[in-house]
Structure 1
Amino acid sequence: MPIDHTLSPILYPTRRHLLGASGALALGGLLPGLASAQAAWPAKSIRFVVPFAPGGSSEIVARSTAVELSKTLGQSVYVDNKPGAAGNIAMSEVARADDQHTLILGHIGTLAVNPFIFDKLPYDAAKDFKPVSLLAKVPSLYVVHPDVPAKNLKEFIAYAKKNPAKLSYGSAGNGSAGHLAFEYLKMTSEIFMLHVPYRGTGPMTTDLMSGRLDAAAVGAAAMLPLIKSGKVRCIATGSIQRLPQLPDVPTVAEQGFPGFEMTQWYGLLAPSTLPKEHLDKLAIEAAKAVKAPDSLKRLNADAAEAIGSTPAEFAKFIASEQARWQKVLLRAKVKPD
């Protein structure tokens, strides 16, 4: 009986249909492999850029996170310090990185300050990066030289009001976290003090200990040893609660300014080109990394609080910090060095 070629190709497949079917089967067999290849991230070592010189809180947070991520991601994560231009050099470079294996440590300065004090930034804090996780907060400590006649914040504010323009405070530079911290206190307490910007925390601390400066607001990691040795006196902490390392020092909020908080903060950012599936994986591991036992030990030693947020939580936090500090920066008329 002759074959009727008008019948359905399902019943009588032609060579073209057979080839199409076999191709589809072959492609279907490849799909799991393609999906596996896409999921195999990271495929090489990850560069974790820190936009500051080695040392201090940024180093502790970055290295603690990098060590733990190296264990869970299956690839080494190494810290690359790249300071300069208030963090703008590093942020600009990472914003344009397209290798999917370059990350950066976000900071209050690069994300909530620089956008409002520079007329033109080489990066867009909102568009060029994807927030991954808020890693840690480091409280600012308000300290004075031992010769300043104030044992606590209330006495210091009273003394400053009786001696307008007599007191000076130092910072690591215009727009630095220490600059913000003291301007925030000045605005809240309605006192006036002369700001003396330095090029780094080191030289500022030297002048504070020698008495050339009266006061400063500095991250806990750098100040705790000096406080314990009596070289400076801590009159208040910018944390929400008292620090276990300084149980006898009240917070700013306790001393008449409810709701006051001043902390430096550090988070993990990725270039905006990082695919969502990689971002989600990284966020989960980063949140666990800062709360690993070894990380907590390192961070707690320097009064740093481990956070470990989701990308959405970190994005919301950045937006709230930008709104808060924009007001302070405009009032203080802060300009970059």
Structure 2
Amino acid sequence: MNQHDAELNRRDYLKLMGAAGLAASGVTAQAQSAWPSKPVRWIVPFAPGGTSSIVARSIGAELTKQTGASFVVDNKGGGGGVPAMLELLRAPADGYTFVMSHIGLMAVNPIIYPDAGYDLKKDFVPVTLVNRLPSLYCVHKDVPVTDMKSLVAYVKARPGRLNYASAGNASAGHLAWEALKLATGMFITHIPYRGTGPALNDVLAGRIEFFSAGTPALLPHIKSGALRCIAVGSPTRISALPDVQSVAETYPGFQTEQWYGIHARAGTPRDIILRMQQEVAKALKAPDVVAKHEAESAIPGGGSPEEYGAFIAKEQARWKDVVIKGGIKAG
């Protein structure tokens, strides 16, 4: 073969490879643009009425506007979120079923549910962090405490006689109170429910004294006077409640927060994972969502799957000590 023929063959090869590359990218772009072509199911591992549902419905409404496909919030509470994860595991890995992941599912369940029926790292993949919210520590309006100092004194004078409600075992509210108990030496009995909504109903009725959840679920009741917020779990005070102290003002270094994200089944096409992440990032910049986050002192997410995975790894390490020392168990 002479030099001229070799050069022609090289050019033909490059053209062929270029055409193949364009075809492949075209297929990927077509697959990505075709998603979603039908309703997308977003499983929320708690009963309706809580922070997780409020966050999912707010973001889901924006995703529906942006993509033209319905994002349907499906509440599946109970079991510490294990049934919700198993529900996702049974769904096809086609990008039409996601789960709302949170601190309990990701940081606590691997410790307290070792035989849950799934492997968190092998069976699921992170999509993106949606937002982070300060934990609010609240009491029923008739409980005579107004700040951390009076709370600790009130509880220590009544050991074992007072209760706090949570959205369930391994929920953010459960972790928040167990962390506070460890920091202060208080003894309060945990009463788990099947979601924030049912728990909050009993707290508002005065049947349970204490509760912790995120700003979306609790701010309306604080503003109405039905609940009194005595402290926030963020390192500093928040703009939504500027007169309420942070726990860290009394116990330096203390911090608890709620966070919510999205996970998919392992095997879901990478281009769909990235498209979902991009759509969530876009939704977080929508004026209504920005205004809601500002009103609730929420910190938006929207980062890459890798960033969310790294964030979860740090949270798992941070909360392991609380889970073990607090004796947090399944059931």
What TM-score do you get using the length of structure 2 for normalisation?
A: 0.85
- What residue in structure 1 maps to residue 247 of structure 2? 252
- Deviation by residue 1:231-289 (Cα, 9 ceiling, x = unmatched): 221110112332322221111112x1222221111012222223444434433332232
CA distance in 2, matches of 1:333, 1:125: 22
Of the three residues 26, 32, 39, the one matched with 2:29 is: 39
- The amino acid that maps onto 1:80 is V
> Deviation digits for residues 66-94 of structure 1, max 9, x if unmatched?
3434455x452512314033322232232
- Higher deviation after alignment, 44-53 or 130-139: 44-53
How far apart, CA to CA, are the structure 1 residues paired with 2:141 and 2:45? 33
Using the TM superposition, name which of 185-194 and 273-282 deviates more. Answer: 273-282
Residue 62 (structure 1) aligned with residue 41 (structure 2): no
Residue 131 (structure 2) aligned to one of 131, 136, 143: 136
Q: What amino acid maps onto 1:253 in structure 2?
A: A
Match of 1:89 among 70, 83, 93: 83
Q: Using the TM superposition, give the Cα deviation of residue 152 of structure 1 relative to its aligned residue in structure 2, in angstroms.
A: 0.5
Query: Shift of residue 218 of structure 1?
Result: 2.3
Q: Structure 2 unaligned segments of length 5 or more: list them.
A: none
CA distance in 1, matches of 2:267, 2:219: 40
Q: Give the number of aligned pairs.
A: 323
Judged with a 3 Å threshold, the aligned counterparts in structure 2 of structure 1 residues 328 and 225 are, in CA distance, closer, same or farther, namely same
CA contact (8 A) 2:177 2:212 kept: yes
Q: Deviations over 1:143-179 (max 9, x none)?
A: 1123333211111112222332232222222222211
**Residue 200 in 1 paired to residue 172 in 2?**
no
Equivalent residue for 1:217, pick from 204, 212, 218: 212
Displacement of 1:217 after TM fit? 1.4
State the alpha-carbon separation in 1 of the partners of residues 282 and 142 from structure 2: 44
Distance, in Å, in 1 between the alignment partners of 2:194 and 2:65 is 36
When structure 1 is superposed on structure 2, of 293-302 and 110-119 the one drifting more is 293-302
Counterpart contact for 2:56–2:73, Cα < 8 Å = no
**Residue 96 of structure 2, aligned match among 77, 92, 101:** 101
Change in 2 beyond 3 A, CA 1:262/1:24 = closer
- Correspondence list, 1:1-337, <5 A: 29=19, 31-40=21-30, 41-45=32-36, 46-70=40-64, 72=66, 74-84=67-77, 85-95=79-89, 97-254=92-249, 256-337=250-331
Where does the alignment leave 5 or more consecutive residues of structure 1 unmatched?
Answer: 1-6, 12-17
Which residue type is aligned with residue 39 of structure 1?
A
Q: 1:62 to 1:172 in 2, by over 3 A?
A: closer
Q: Which amino acid aligns with 1:222?
A: A
Cα distance in 2 for partners of 1:53, 1:144 equals 22
Deviation at 1:325, TM superposition (A): 2.0
Shift of 1:95: 3.6
Q: For 1:53, what is the secondary structure of its paired residue?
A: coil
Offset of residue 183 of structure 1: 0.6
RMSD: 3.0
* Whole-angstrom distance in 2 between the partners of 1:252 and 1:143: 12
- Percentage of matched positions with identical amino acids: 44
**Is residue 82–residue 89 contact of structure 1 (8 Å, CA) maintained in 2?**
no
CA distance in 2, matches of 1:37, 1:47: 25
Q: Secondary structure at the match of 1:81?
A: strand
CA shift, 1:307, in A, is 2.5
Q: State the alpha-carbon separation in 1 of the partners of residues 168 and 16 from structure 2.
A: 62
| 1:106-148 residue CA offsets vs partner (Å, 9 max, x unmatched) | 1112111211111411222222222222111122211112333
